[in-house]
A and B are shown apart, each in its own frame.
Chain A
């Protein structure tokens, strides 16, 4: 807190780095682009460290606040600030960017500068989403992330990339446009201010609350994604290049969860309570039904995509139980899912780079040729299944504990994920890694190289550290979650 506008630095460093990388131009400068991108990503992570060290876990107000007038005509302000939830997501995002750059190092060989530049710009924009305290600033960052993601999927994706990219873009745009109308309504109701804090204090009648809730729901449900608007995700994941899948799963989906925390719950608490049954129902469908869908997938990336939806179901479930443990669990699940899904997509990427197939049936006996890789993959598969000692366990366990307090059957349905999750993840693992060498190409596989070892090891440390010692995460989350629940418990209907 020494006067440096750290949040602006955190947002604009990756964006500027991305522009520099873009400026390297054609592929004959690919090596320069790669090293610049790595430098930019590392720098982008380094500048988040002051946020972590300077963060006061007990302070109740937003920290590192920056406030400037931006568009006076509509009183839109460049207003930044973070609480514990934003802090964790910013750290996760900046960390993931480094992984993405390393993961795309060799695999991406055409238009390298554009690929790396897109990811760096996107990383900065995502930080902006998590740090924005002005609804319009949030919206601008939120929407702007669509452009680089659209290009990443469409340019470097698989055979059906065009369809996936357009579907991704239009689904998310539909959601956010309705949110835009809701935000404008709130702007008028708040007497001409887009400040999120002002929205939090704004009294609203029930009908208005429900309509606003639904508009937000469409926007954030598409992002999370919740059943039944999840169908873009498997397509986008399957077609996206590995880096794209990683960012989608680790970060982009978190925008939805974060939106619920920052917008839906505190702005329209009464509607949130009234519609919590709906939300819990949709979340449980995601957890159980999508878990079953994951079981029958033959494509590894699709399986992990469905597994993501199922795990994100836990996040929305936890948020709408209005219980301290469950909400904290939901946020921890978001972070953990960021690590685990990133790791799994990177693992699939490692295999795909060698064999150019994502079909489970094309593999088998990989352990014989790639023992180190198999060990890493094992760890991440276990984390995905929610094994105690890995990060995957912590969030799920907290949410289930919270659910038990609310209703036994909700907890029961949620807990089935421990079985299904283990079933689809481990079954996939078994078919890919163990068994006889089914495909002659598998017999020629080379184990992971240093570059791959590096990003898998980084993630393994993160997954284990978070699983074995989650206390720092809980400490950071305690104040914001407590405040959120206290705020949500009060009605905002005028006259009450």
Chain B
């Protein structure tokens, strides 16, 4: 086991991030509470620096490094940059929110960075072990983040649920992975694919393992019937953490699906197996997610169900089973992250000390209070509903196109029917903002950074909707040159 300098070069962003986490951890000890913005600035700067490193060192070809544990390809680069953007946006949105709740401390930042590192490892994993390690690093950081306000009952309860169910899911994944190992004798993803392609693996054991893997993936994505934790955790967690959970990790989970199902188990016969399972998950997620969301009165909970239905859509792209579908799914998850960031950012914009602004009524009459932010939220909601000219429409379009292209027209019809159901509850938010009179007339007090970013976020949903071509192309290139 010797490592060449090239190995370190491939993992340069991860190494940088890890170093910086340690630096921040120590540096924060020497800072007083009123100097905490230094930690904040350092954290954001770290994310920017990592993104810069990736941009500078991006190569169009696939590099395997660290004895086959690690892969650096355009897919990983693109997803990681998206993760950095999402995490940085989350930090900026939540600055005022966490400060008002006594969470504006070093732990918050280091845990967020550790979660980011976990996502990066997951995205670049080339080996079942590194995949699992990344996932656990991400999950454990998130459990701790949910429980960060340790005297809050809601947060602790959410953390407990998240932890127990997450551990169960990890168990399933590990069991599935062990079956794959048993059938192929390999842990390295390309080697697993090779053994299966050579026909040397026992099909029954493979499919048996696959079932557990898909179940584990279902848990992590929050797809029905493995979705139970999602609404409880979103509602119970501090909004800042719910925002984190709902955004960047979905990008990592997408990479997880790509690495496991497509790269390792993507042969035609196995594809036919997991496609069946994903169809079930996708249809059930769209149905349960959209229908249950209608009954919610808590916006965070509603967004949780909305996430579940979006994950159903994401799976539609994956189950198309061709690069066309994968790039559609990647585009979808990128768009989803963008709108989800904005929607949770909006909740935090309206929240203040002792007031969460997470009930639907809290958005009543927003157009009276602030026409601009009502408009931003309107764009985000229509984007989630998939109404043109917002970007959400193109995400739905590309996924539907890939499904129709794969010959599953009925699935496309089911998907549009449920997105009609979905439109109803997104419309309700718009309705409350525009058609009702405000109950709460407190002026919006959020820091300039969050306000500016939120405006950019909302406008991006419109602007990328008017010119979506470049993002689609980016996703297509990433998929094409990596798989």
Q: Identify the closest chain B residue to A171 (Cβ).
A: B420
* Interface residues on chain A, number (Cβ under 8 Å): 36
Contact in complex: B427, A150 (CB < 8 Å): yes
Residues of B5-50 at the interface with A, using a CB-CB cut-off of 8 Å, are: none
Contact in complex: A181, B413 (CB < 8 Å): yes
Contact in complex: B468, A177 (CB < 8 Å): no
Within 8 Å by CB of A73, from B371, B419, B472, lies: B472
In the assembled complex, the Cα of A191 lies from the Cα of B401 at a distance in Å of 12
Question: Which B residues are in CB contact (< 8 Å) with A166?
Answer: 424, 427, 431
Contact in complex: A71, B434 (CB < 8 Å): no
| B440 part of interface (Cβ distance < 8 Å) | no
Residues of A168-215 at the interface with B, using a CB-CB cut-off of 8 Å, are: 169-170, 173-174, 177-178, 180-181, 184-185, 187-188
- Report the minimal beta-carbon distance from B317 to chain A, rounded to whole angstroms: 13
Within 8 Å by CB of B412, from A154, A173, A184, lies: A184
| A408 part of interface (Cβ distance < 8 Å) | no
Contact with A along B384-404 (1 / 0, CB 8 A): 000111000110011011001
Contact in complex: B472, A71 (CB < 8 Å): yes
- Report the minimal beta-carbon distance from A77 to chain B, rounded to whole angstroms: 11
Question: Which A residues are in CB contact (< 8 Å) with B413?
Answer: 178, 181
Central interface residue in A73, A139, A161, A166, by most chain B CB within 10 Å: A73
| B66 part of interface (Cβ distance < 8 Å) | no
Question: Which A residues are in CB contact (< 8 Å) with B400?
Answer: 180-181, 184
Question: Which A residues are in CB contact (< 8 Å) with B409?
Answer: 181, 185
- Report the minimal beta-carbon distance from A238 to chain B, rounded to whole angstroms: 16
- Report the minimal beta-carbon distance from A57 to chain B, rounded to whole angstroms: 33
In the assembled complex, the Cα of A165 lies from the Cα of B432 at a distance in Å of 12
In the assembled complex, the Cα of A143 lies from the Cα of B382 at a distance in Å of 11
Contact in complex: B401, A165 (CB < 8 Å): no
Contact with B along A366-406 (1 / 0, CB 8 A): 00000000000000000000000000000000000000000
Contact in complex: A147, B412 (CB < 8 Å): no
Residues of B459-483 at the interface with A, using a CB-CB cut-off of 8 Å, are: 468-469, 472-473, 476
Within 8 Å by CB of B435, from A70, A143, A165, lies: A165
Question: Which B residues are in CB contact (< 8 Å) with A136?
Answer: 397
Contact in complex: B431, A73 (CB < 8 Å): no
In the assembled complex, the Cα of A386 lies from the Cα of B381 at a distance in Å of 45
In the assembled complex, the Cα of A463 lies from the Cα of B312 at a distance in Å of 53
| A453 part of interface (Cβ distance < 8 Å) | no
| A116 part of interface (Cβ distance < 8 Å) | no
In the assembled complex, the Cα of A211 lies from the Cα of B30 at a distance in Å of 70
Contact in complex: B468, A71 (CB < 8 Å): yes
Residues of A52-79 at the interface with B, using a CB-CB cut-off of 8 Å, are: 70-74
Question: Which A residues are in CB contact (< 8 Å) with B435?
Answer: 154-155, 161-162, 165
Question: Which A residues are in CB contact (< 8 Å) with B405?
Answer: 188
Contact in complex: B389, A144 (CB < 8 Å): yes
| B416 part of interface (Cβ distance < 8 Å) | yes
Contact with A along B353-392 (1 / 0, CB 8 A): 0000000000000010001000000100010000111000
Q: Identify the closest chain A residue to B396 (Cβ).
A: A180
Within 8 Å by CB of B404, from A147, A173, A174, A185, lies: A185
Contact in complex: A173, B431 (CB < 8 Å): no
In the assembled complex, the Cα of A147 lies from the Cα of B431 at a distance in Å of 11
Residues of A118-141 at the interface with B, using a CB-CB cut-off of 8 Å, are: 136, 139-140
Question: Which A residues are in CB contact (< 8 Å) with B424?
Answer: 166, 170
| A114 part of interface (Cβ distance < 8 Å) | yes
Q: Identify the closest chain A residue to B375 (Cβ).
A: A22
In the assembled complex, the Cα of A170 lies from the Cα of B413 at a distance in Å of 16
Contact in complex: B472, A140 (CB < 8 Å): no
| A25 part of interface (Cβ distance < 8 Å) | yes
Contact in complex: A73, B389 (CB < 8 Å): no
Contact in complex: B473, A73 (CB < 8 Å): yes
Q: Identify the closest chain B residue to A189 (Cβ).
A: B404
| A146 part of interface (Cβ distance < 8 Å) | yes
| A151 part of interface (Cβ distance < 8 Å) | yes
In the assembled complex, the Cα of A185 lies from the Cα of B404 at a distance in Å of 7
- Report the minimal beta-carbon distance from A16 to chain B, rounded to whole angstroms: 13
- Report the minimal beta-carbon distance from A126 to chain B, rounded to whole angstroms: 14
| B423 part of interface (Cβ distance < 8 Å) | yes
Q: Identify the closest chain B residue to A174 (Cβ).
A: B420
Question: Which A residues are in CB contact (< 8 Å) with B388?
Answer: 139-140, 143-144
Question: Which A residues are in CB contact (< 8 Å) with B397?
Answer: 74, 136, 180, 184
In the assembled complex, the Cα of A139 lies from the Cα of B388 at a distance in Å of 8
Contact in complex: B416, A180 (CB < 8 Å): yes
Within 8 Å by CB of B393, from A114, A143, A169, lies: A143
Contact in complex: A74, B416 (CB < 8 Å): no
Question: Which B residues are in CB contact (< 8 Å) with A155?
Answer: 367, 434-435
Contact in complex: B434, A73 (CB < 8 Å): no
* Given A114-B371, A180-B397: A162 and B431 interface contact (C-beta under 8 Å): yes
Contact in complex: A147, B382 (CB < 8 Å): yes
Contact with A along B424-444 (1 / 0, CB 8 A): 100100110011000000000
- Report the minimal beta-carbon distance from B385 to chain A, rounded to whole angstroms: 8
In the assembled complex, the Cα of A154 lies from the Cα of B433 at a distance in Å of 11
Question: Which A residues are in CB contact (< 8 Å) with B427?
Answer: 150, 166, 169-170
Question: Which A residues are in CB contact (< 8 Å) with B473?
Answer: 72-73
Residues of B278-316 at the interface with A, using a CB-CB cut-off of 8 Å, are: none
- Report the minimal beta-carbon distance from B405 to chain A, rounded to whole angstroms: 6
Contact in complex: B389, A170 (CB < 8 Å): no
Contact in complex: A25, B423 (CB < 8 Å): no
Contact in complex: B469, A143 (CB < 8 Å): no
* Given A177-B416, A187-B401: A25 and B389 interface contact (C-beta under 8 Å): no
Contact in complex: A72, B469 (CB < 8 Å): yes
Contact in complex: A140, B404 (CB < 8 Å): no
Contact with B along A468-496 (1 / 0, CB 8 A): 00000000000000000000000000000
Contact in complex: B476, A170 (CB < 8 Å): no
Question: Which B residues are in CB contact (< 8 Å) with A180?
Answer: 397, 400, 416
In the assembled complex, the Cα of A181 lies from the Cα of B434 at a distance in Å of 31
Question: Which B residues are in CB contact (< 8 Å) with A73?
Answer: 398, 469, 472-473, 476
- Report the minimal beta-carbon distance from B203 to chain A, rounded to whole angstroms: 33
Contact in complex: B431, A154 (CB < 8 Å): yes
In the assembled complex, the Cα of A140 lies from the Cα of B473 at a distance in Å of 20
Q: Identify the closest chain A residue to B400 (Cβ).
A: A184
Contact in complex: A181, B404 (CB < 8 Å): yes
Question: Which A residues are in CB contact (< 8 Å) with B378?
Answer: 147
- Report the minimal beta-carbon distance from B448 to chain A, rounded to whole angstroms: 20
Q: Identify the closest chain A residue to B385 (Cβ).
A: A173
Central interface residue in A72, A74, A161, by most chain B CB within 10 Å: A74
In the assembled complex, the Cα of A150 lies from the Cα of B423 at a distance in Å of 13
In the assembled complex, the Cα of A188 lies from the Cα of B382 at a distance in Å of 27
Q: Identify the closest chain A residue to B404 (Cβ).
A: A184
Question: Which B residues are in CB contact (< 8 Å) with A143?
Answer: 387-388, 393
- Report the minimal beta-carbon distance from A156 to chain B, rounded to whole angstroms: 10
Question: Which A residues are in CB contact (< 8 Å) with B393?
Answer: 140, 143
- Report the minimal beta-carbon distance from A303 to chain B, rounded to whole angstroms: 26
Q: Identify the closest chain A residue to B436 (Cβ).
A: A162
- Report the minimal beta-carbon distance from B342 to chain A, rounded to whole angstroms: 17
Within 8 Å by CB of A74, from B367, B389, B401, lies: B401
- Report the minimal beta-carbon distance from B410 to chain A, rounded to whole angstroms: 10
Chain A residues with a Cβ under 8 A of chain B: 25-26, 70-74, 111, 114, 136, 139-140, 143-144, 146-147, 150-151, 154-155, 161-162, 165-166, 169-170, 173-174, 177-178, 180-181, 184-185, 187-188
User: What are 20 A-B contacts defined by CB distance under 8 Å?
Assistant: A72-B469, A73-B472, A73-B473, A74-B472, A140-B393, A143-B387, A143-B393, A144-B387, A147-B378, A150-B430, A151-B434, A154-B435, A155-B434, A162-B435, A166-B431, A173-B423, A177-B416, A177-B420, A184-B404, A185-B404
Given contacts A136-B397, A177-B419, 17 further A-B contacts (CB under 8 A): A25-B371, A74-B397, A140-B393, A143-B393, A144-B389, A150-B427, A169-B423, A173-B420, A174-B420, A177-B416, A178-B413, A178-B416, A180-B397, A180-B416, A184-B397, A184-B412, A185-B404
Chain B residues with a Cβ under 8 A of chain A: 367, 371, 378, 382, 387-389, 393-394, 397-398, 400-401, 404-405, 409, 412-413, 416-417, 419-420, 423-424, 427, 430-431, 434-435, 468-469, 472-473, 476
